[in-house]
Structure 1
Amino acid sequence: MLRRMLLASRANAQQFRQIRTRYPAALNPALFSTETTASSSDYLKSAQEVKASDEQAKPELPSDAEQSDLISGNMLDVLTAHNPGFKRSQANLRRLKAQVSGNAIPPEERMRAIFGYLLQESRDEVTRLRELGPEKLSTVLQTHRENAHLRRKQHAQTAEDLAALMAQELMINSTGGDKYLQNTEHLLLLLLHMLRSKSQILDIDQIVEVFETCKLIPGTQNRLKGILLSGRLLYSLGKVRMDPFNESFYIDALLYHGYYKDAWQLFESYKDRVNQRWWYEMGMMVTLRSNQLRKYDLLFRQTIDKFGESYVRPKVLKTAIKKKLYMGDFKSANKLTEYFMQIGRDLGFEKAAHHDSSDEVPNFDAEEQANEFLNALENPTYSDVMDIIQAHLFRRNYAYAFKLFAQFLEQADSQNTDVAQLLVRLQMLMINDIETLKKAIQPFLKPNTEREALSKLEASFNFSIENIGLSDARRALDFLLFRNMEALTSQPAMTGLVYKYIVQNWADSETDNSIDPSKKFQGIIKILLINKQEDAALQVLSKLEQSDGSGFYPRVNGHHYSLFADYYLKALMGTKSVLKRERLIDKVHKVVGRMERFSVPFNATITASLIAFYREVPDLEECFKLINSILVENSRSSEVAMNNATPFFEMRLVTSKLYQEIWKTYRLYHSFSADWSLLEPSSYRMGWKSYVLGAKKTLNVKPAVPMSELFRQMVELDNIMPTPKFYSNILITLAKGRDFITMIAVLQYMKTKHAVVLEDALQKYLYVSLERAYVELERKGISSGNSVLGFQSATTLAKEKVKSMIQEGQVLKKLYEDPTNDMVSQISSYIKKADPTGMETLPPLLRSLGLDTSLMKH
């Protein structure tokens, strides 16, 4: 709807009315938020383009009947039960009841009246919460509720009155969500109902009014949900568009809920008109949060060319640095970090992190005022630098991390506080000796400042230990400390666990280092299993299974069981004994049985662990039972979630780790289907054939989702950005499965979306795969023309013919310098030779991935 509206609006510019509203709150705090970098494509809107998934049944979305109370008489009972009891609210409720009394009121009028009531109550709720604060407001609301209950009890005369009183109390007690903003949540529910039912009972001014109100809602989730729903209602009219400043709120809401394509389209369509640095910075955040690194690179260069090299907002750069590090692009990450540090040297680094307050943001009556505010320079902070150093260490870019650490050390104050904070942030207190850290940093210090800097480092290290109270703990638990920097940073989760354990349980000072109870017991189980204390770990698991979460032990979840599956997998990989392997398989079956017995839902972590275990057995039937189930459910739940304005981070079922295990399983499956005749005769070949035949005996379940759809779900639906190593595994899997059409799409996607380069080793592997495919093609042709010729003889002739064709430049001749373009060209040539109609399926696949089909016309 939004995409069609935008295209129509550009075609009818004179009919395109622009809505400009005052901008009273929080122009920029959420706009550049990096909390939700993770994301997905708009599955609902792209579903029309995705032919591959058309054969799957459409999931049943929540029906309109579920929202019927909004326009029925029952809604008045709900609103009465949740009336906060203030005089103004009671007057509003009486006015509403007078407006909707009688059966002759049309449903549209009833809904409009309820909307007006909820809008006013929402404003009042937000104002009261801001003025009174949560604690005082809670006391007032409780007093009002008790007084109202007493009054209703006194006026109850009949059994029906008592039943109604009990029903109201049940409504109040069973209500979830934010107790301070009950009517605000009802307003959001009403907006969702209007959007899904395509009701157009509100005029433009009313929708703008609710949009402005939603911008003031405290709490990220409800605020962005309200902005999304009201914005979609506004744009569904097809006649209006907000000004850029208000639209920036809407774009942030789209990103939060996974509508990345719409967010990019809105940014792109206003880019030339706005022509301001802040708008380009927002666009860069759109590309980064949607993992479109190629677009980010282009937009970053455009921003520098248009507005100069002196400044880009630090939060944008910090997000880009983390993304580049994740992809293993250390060269780009280092360059961006240098740029970030240069901005800090020019403007100066601030001590404290920025805490934006909406109360401090003024109203703007003109675009110039808003542009000036949004273009204001923001100083980088020491906290930003610490985050960046931590990111480089976490991604094992050690040399640059220590270089940056040295720069920070030279610039930090001499009071120990800044360096001490960095040491605590990086959990450097877990190294056994300060000399280890000195040796890592010393090569990057300037000769004239080296002695002073190292002295400052040692003083800060000792200060941190004393301040937290770890002196005795470090001596007592010396065996837990790390001997080198690589060991400290190689397993961040384990380092963090050890650090929190020591600080919480051994530190002398009362430091607030709270850790989620569930994660605490994950750590306990993990430590027990590392020390081969399986029985003790199972006893802890039993305690968790018996807990309802209200006492010392938290509720059990899939993360706890996954630790046992991982432990048994490691043992399985370490033994060839049939008896031991059978015992381990039985133990994993018991783990699954325990989960079913205690009704523990399967999450991505336990599913990934089980797939990895069963693949090692190998038991591909069990693997694909899990894989098929999770992929079908992923598609269904995502569509339902998008229709209910669910935040993206809450609706992702399949994580990057789980996708990696799925692709590894597909790879093994297609390895079993390989044509062994193309391999040179060897004892290994015969052993592999025996292994495959054994594995295939139990294989009655096959992949239900083709690899093209698997890739689309991963990158578009769940917005997973594969690393170069992950891309390599995907392409090798496609090569083994001879899915060359999907291979073209993946190659184009990794280049144009994620800016991943096809490395030489992988390129050679794909060329060999194509050569084998040509051999198979020629063998079939030779065999069909000579039925007397034996299979092996036909294969030998085919190999000789293909070798001759390569030497003569008929096939696999290099055409492009760019490795990806050349590989795509070679694959296309093969497909056209093998099946002249095979390329017809490529354009729909490219469109489903948001790729330009014109790229295939070279």
Structure 2
Amino acid sequence: MIISRAANSKFRALSLIRCYRKRVKSQISHVNQVKDRQNDLFKPQEVKMRAESPDSVEKKLKKLGFKSLEESGSSEELFVDYLNSSPSPFKKSRSELDKLKKSGAENQNDASNRMELLFDFMLEESEREIKRLDSMGPVQMQKLQNQHIEAQRGFEGDRRNINSEKELERAIFKDLEQASNAQDSERSLLPNTERMFRVLSDLNMRKLASAGIISPDQMVGAFEASKVIPLRNIRLRGVLLAGHLIYSLGRVRMDPVNESFYIEALVYYGFYKKALELFNSNRRKVNQRWWYEMGMMICLRANHLAQFDRLLQLTMDSFGSDYVAPRILRTAIRKKLYIRDYVGSGTLTDLFTKMTATYGWRPSKIESRDNSKSLYFTNEVQADQFLNQKEQPTELDYVALIQYHFFRKRKDEALMLLLKLAMLPDMDKELLASVMWKLKIHLLQSFDVLKNELQASFSTETDFPISLLQEAFKTAQLQSGIHELPQQHKHILFDNISAVALHPSLVKHVEDLADELLKGLDKFESKGSGREYSLKIQNVLKALLKNDKEVPALELLNKVEKPLEDEENHSTQFTKANAHHYAVFVDYYSAKAQNTKVANDIISYENKIERLVTNVNEKGIKYNAMLLSSLLQHYRKTGNLDNCFNIINTILNYKANPETDDRFGHLLSFFERREITKPLYLEIWKCFALYYSYFDNGLGVTELRSNHGAWTRNVSKERAKINVHPACDYRTLFKTMVLEDNILPDTYFYQLIIKALVRVRDWSYIPALLKYMSDVNGIEPDEKSLRFINGGLRLEYIAIEREMLISDKEEIHKCLTSLMNRARRIVENQIKAGTILKESHDNDKQQILENILDFLKEYRSDELIKVNLALEELDLN
């Protein structure tokens, strides 16, 4: 028989197979001592315990007052007892509690009905509580609550000496109540209302509005009860929770007046998009001036200034151009000045003064509406008539506008408002003196300083208002005691009106110093509120460090690092050091390090900053935006991007690089009061811009300069130092800033943002950025930014032409410099011919957008879809 080679090898493989038996593990130990007792392990074991019988245990528990727990009905009784454990000083209605208990027992098989009964009780107790607060006031309520707490301290004794079931219940319920209020900084004046809010919050978080746990009528009842709470922050929280449940049903919409309460709560908590949707959807139906005024305030709070301008014009066209509510004008002028829209702010300021001349004014002490009492309307017409009442401006509105204009160094506009304020009919000397005091004009060395400013700016018809202002100035100085300041100390007062307006912290310091000199004090008093005292400490530290008095400043810091106590009551903690005080030192040491070229001095100052940071961490001091901005500025200027992004990644709630030492993990304490301010965001953007300047953007070399080699080496050296990288990109940073934290960038800030995006060549996002800038924030791109965008596109075209020339076999032998020069000439000729980067004098922004889209269509067609995605991300579609 002939066997093939393959079959033969298979046969040999089968013949070599061996079979093995699995070895069974012996049940007998090889250790002799264990072997002798091996069988004992398999015998049944007995555990003998000495314990009392169940009957005897039950008898002893009954002697202590315990009773048998029945499964049916016990949960309702326990919850009723929990409700009765409220820290409120007022006793619940016994009949209502008994009624709730009885109703719960009768509806044991209907869980939803029992919950409705329970919520009815909570709602009734909340309404009683709100009425008491409205009639008694917060001070009296707090006093009674403190007395009640003192009276209940007997139930919070030694937990080891509980002698009855009731004492055990009280202890348990007390712990539950304290645990539920653990996050509150102070005890609520409305404990039953807060408990009802926790139920509403839980229903909202779990999306159970339609689950039938509570009825729509109960939601409306909670909304109505919340509307009349006299404390604004609690009122708006209740309105938001109840209103969101009502609208989550999807089949109910409130009347316009009630909906305005809900919209106010949405705006207060930052839900601007939802508020604008509700306003716009009802605008044509309501068509009342008060509804338009509410919409304008939403736009201002949401930084939608372009939509505000359109709505303002529509309001004036529909209801008259001679009146806009003073509170809206104040906010609008402040926003316009903030973004440096001086034309818009001037127009609104003129409208304000004309409105005052037409409708008059009133002193701020006279309230135009009694907002302390609830008002009830019989129909919508009556409500519209009340809400459409025109409010008169007050002297405080003038004071605010004067301060806004001074802040933006619009001195002439501010002084003009001051003159018009003095010329208002029925303006008395005492009220004008209070205006002088609020503007801190009484801190001028003499009235001649103000008089000269007024006469220089306004040469005609100023004698009468100037004389009134002079009398008010003297009265303000008499009331404040400044006129008694000794001549040798008069130099601390101001000789410039602009300095008074532009430096509020310095003004406060001068006021305090003058007060101390008048009283003849040799030490720094700690009277007043904690915030005022902290500000005084900060101003003193600034003054000491400005004069290079580092040692006394450190001694003062060491003193306030320890908890300060009032001398008269040693048990009362007053205040202690905070992040503002440390920020002063960081700025001082950082400036010193930047202004010296001595290496040892630089190292010394940087070590001092590191010791400050260590001190902040060890003492558990909470960071704030001011200290974080100072640290970022210092680390950025010293090129320490690792520390920058350790801070930034934590601020933006991203996890830092785990391979590096996360020295700033403690910054999470910052989120207990999350305030990422505009200055802090500005520092973050500057750190991002510096980071990306060290990394290649993929454009390649478009121009060879004389220092190209040295620049390349320096960039490589700095890049090698970076170990911590940003946890997000520019797009996420911008979206977080404007949508989540509602930051309004000004023109300078937008210039920085535009340059950053151009340098990383994110062309598909720039159209959305420009649209958001103009259509939402109402800021038109300046010529400098538009030229920078066109310059970036020009470099893109040069790089493309360079690559095309390099790919040409006839040109490849030429040097890179000549190729780039030729590519540049080709692009310049195309620009002159109008084939690329077209210019338009009518609408520069629109032409820039077309230039970007033309470039993307021609060379990056795959990124066109990203343009629409960016618009959707910023809610611009």
Output the TM-score relative to the length of structure 1.
0.83
- Show the counterpart of 1:113: 117
- Show the counterpart of 2:778: 755
Does structure 1 retain, via aligned residues, the 8 Å contact 2:635–2:641? yes
Verify: 1:197 aligned to 2:206, yes or no.
yes
Supply the distance in 2 between the matched residues of 1:474 and 1:436 (Cα, whole angstroms). Answer: 19
Supply the distance in 1 between the matched residues of 2:486 and 2:836 (Cα, whole angstroms). Answer: 66
Supply the distance in 2 between the matched residues of 1:229 and 1:274 (Cα, whole angstroms). Answer: 25
Partner SS state of residue 93, structure 2: helix
CA positional deviation for 1:480: 2.8
- Show the counterpart of 2:360: 348
Change (3 A) 1:726 1:86: closer
Structure 1 stretches of 5 or more lacking a match? 1-70, 636-648, 853-858
Verify: 1:372 aligned to 2:385, yes or no.
yes
CA positional deviation for 1:195: 1.1
Partner SS state of residue 475, structure 2: helix
- Show the counterpart of 2:6: none
- Show the counterpart of 2:492: 480
Partner SS state of residue 218, structure 1: coil
Residue type of the alignment partner of 1:111? M
Does structure 1 retain, via aligned residues, the 8 Å contact 2:757–2:766? yes
Change (3 A) 1:103 1:272: closer
Q: How does 1:209-248 map to 2 (within 5 A)?
A: 209-248=221-260
Change (3 A) 1:467 1:81: same
Residue type of the alignment partner of 1:95? K
- Show the counterpart of 2:433: 420
Q: Map Cα deviations across residues 601-659 of structure 1 (whole Å, 9 max, x no partner).
A: 33222111111101101112221221122112599xxxxxxxxxxxxx98643210111
Change (3 A) 1:722 1:506: farther
- Show the counterpart of 1:130: 134
Supply the distance in 2 between the matched residues of 1:553 and 1:633 (Cα, whole angstroms). Answer: 36
Residue type of the alignment partner of 2:119? F
- Show the counterpart of 1:58: none
Partner SS state of residue 743, structure 2: coil
CA positional deviation for 1:552: 6.5
2:556 to 533, 540, 545: 540
Change (3 A) 1:587 1:276: same
Supply the distance in 2 between the matched residues of 1:443 and 1:358 (Cα, whole angstroms). Answer: 44
Q: Map Cα deviations across residues 741-771 of structure 1 (whole Å, 9 max, x no partner).
A: 2222211111101111222222222222221
Does structure 2 retain, via aligned residues, the 8 Å contact 1:254–1:260? yes
Does structure 2 retain, via aligned residues, the 8 Å contact 1:473–1:507? no
Supply the distance in 2 between the matched residues of 1:624 and 1:654 (Cα, whole angstroms). Answer: 15
Supply the distance in 1 between the matched residues of 2:844 and 2:509 (Cα, whole angstroms). Answer: 43
CA positional deviation for 1:502: 3.3
- Show the counterpart of 1:820: 845
CA positional deviation for 1:327: 1.0
Bigger Cα displacement from structure 2, 411-420 vs 342-351: 411-420
Bigger Cα displacement from structure 2, 276-285 vs 94-103: 94-103
- Show the counterpart of 1:692: 715
Change (3 A) 1:749 1:504: farther
Does structure 1 retain, via aligned residues, the 8 Å contact 2:299–2:305? yes
Change (3 A) 1:769 1:366: same
Supply the distance in 2 between the matched residues of 1:569 and 1:255 (Cα, whole angstroms). Answer: 40
Q: Map Cα deviations across residues 522-575 of structure 1 (whole Å, 9 max, x no partner).
A: 222222221212222222222333327875762332222221211122112212
- Show the counterpart of 2:422: 409
Supply the distance in 2 between the matched residues of 1:750 and 1:412 (Cα, whole angstroms). Answer: 42
Change (3 A) 1:245 1:476: farther
Residue type of the alignment partner of 2:364? A
Verify: 1:781 aligned to 2:793, yes or no.
no
1:843 to 851, 863, 868: 868
Residue type of the alignment partner of 2:705? P
Change (3 A) 1:452 1:167: same
Supply the distance in 1 between the matched residues of 2:483 and 2:770 (Cα, whole angstroms). Answer: 54
Supply the distance in 2 between the matched residues of 1:152 and 1:750 (Cα, whole angstroms). Answer: 59
- Show the counterpart of 2:728: 705
The root-mean-square deviation of aligned C-alpha atoms, in Å, is: 3.2
1:806 to 802, 826, 831: 831
- Show the counterpart of 1:653: 675
CA positional deviation for 1:848: 1.2
Verify: 1:599 aligned to 2:623, yes or no.
no
Does structure 2 retain, via aligned residues, the 8 Å contact 1:85–1:144? yes
1:433 to 446, 449, 455: 446
Bigger Cα displacement from structure 2, 592-601 vs 468-477: 468-477
Does structure 2 retain, via aligned residues, the 8 Å contact 1:470–1:507? no
- Show the counterpart of 1:284: 296
Verify: 1:832 aligned to 2:844, yes or no.
no
Partner SS state of residue 209, structure 1: helix
CA positional deviation for 1:486: 3.0
- Show the counterpart of 2:318: 306
- Show the counterpart of 2:542: 526
Supply the distance in 1 between the matched residues of 2:314 and 2:673 (Cα, whole angstroms). Answer: 34
2:510 to 476, 498, 514: 498
Q: Map Cα deviations across residues 432-460 of structure 1 (whole Å, 9 max, x no partner).
A: 2322211212245573x433322222222
Change (3 A) 1:102 1:501: farther
Supply the distance in 1 between the matched residues of 2:826 and 2:362 (Cα, whole angstroms). Answer: 69
Supply the distance in 1 between the matched residues of 2:337 and 2:692 (Cα, whole angstroms). Answer: 32
Residue type of the alignment partner of 2:112? E
Supply the distance in 1 between the matched residues of 2:427 and 2:391 (Cα, whole angstroms). Answer: 25
Q: Map Cα deviations across residues 398-426 of structure 1 (whole Å, 9 max, x no partner).
A: 11111111222233657522322222111
Change (3 A) 1:289 1:505: farther
1:672 to 694, 702, 705: 694
Supply the distance in 1 between the matched residues of 2:116 and 2:76 (Cα, whole angstroms). Answer: 13
- Show the counterpart of 1:79: 83
Residue type of the alignment partner of 1:210? A
Bigger Cα displacement from structure 2, 535-544 vs 302-311: 535-544
Supply the distance in 2 between the matched residues of 1:605 and 1:139 (Cα, whole angstroms). Answer: 37
CA positional deviation for 1:123: 0.5
Supply the distance in 2 between the matched residues of 1:607 and 1:73 (Cα, whole angstroms). Answer: 52
Does structure 1 retain, via aligned residues, the 8 Å contact 2:682–2:749? yes
Partner SS state of residue 253, structure 2: strand
Residue type of the alignment partner of 1:235? Y
CA positional deviation for 1:499: 2.9
- Show the counterpart of 1:61: none
Q: Map Cα deviations across residues 234-282 of structure 1 (whole Å, 9 max, x no partner).
A: 0000001000000000000000011000000000000000011110011
Bigger Cα displacement from structure 2, 425-434 vs 77-86: 77-86
Residue type of the alignment partner of 1:809? G
Supply the distance in 1 between the matched residues of 2:145 and 2:640 (Cα, whole angstroms). Answer: 59
Q: Map Cα deviations across residues 169-202 of structure 1 (whole Å, 9 max, x no partner).
A: 5566775444431101111111001111222322
Change (3 A) 1:76 1:483: same
Query: Which protein, 1 or 2, shows the higher relative CO under an 8 Å CA cutoff with sep ≥ 6?
Result: 1
Q: Map Cα deviations across residues 778-809 of structure 1 (whole Å, 9 max, x no partner).
A: 22333344554443333222212211221222
Supply the distance in 1 between the matched residues of 2:394 and 2:764 (Cα, whole angstroms). Answer: 48
Does structure 2 retain, via aligned residues, the 8 Å contact 1:468–1:508? no
Supply the distance in 2 between the matched residues of 1:623 and 1:190 (Cα, whole angstroms). Answer: 42
- Show the counterpart of 2:27: none
1:96 to 72, 78, 100: 100
Supply the distance in 1 between the matched residues of 2:86 and 2:844 (Cα, whole angstroms). Answer: 64
Bigger Cα displacement from structure 2, 672-681 vs 528-537: 672-681
Partner SS state of residue 577, structure 2: coil
Does structure 1 retain, via aligned residues, the 8 Å contact 2:649–2:655? no
Does structure 2 retain, via aligned residues, the 8 Å contact 1:504–1:511? no
- Show the counterpart of 1:31: none
Does structure 2 retain, via aligned residues, the 8 Å contact 1:504–1:513? no
Does structure 1 retain, via aligned residues, the 8 Å contact 2:333–2:401? yes
Structure label with greater radius of gyration = 2
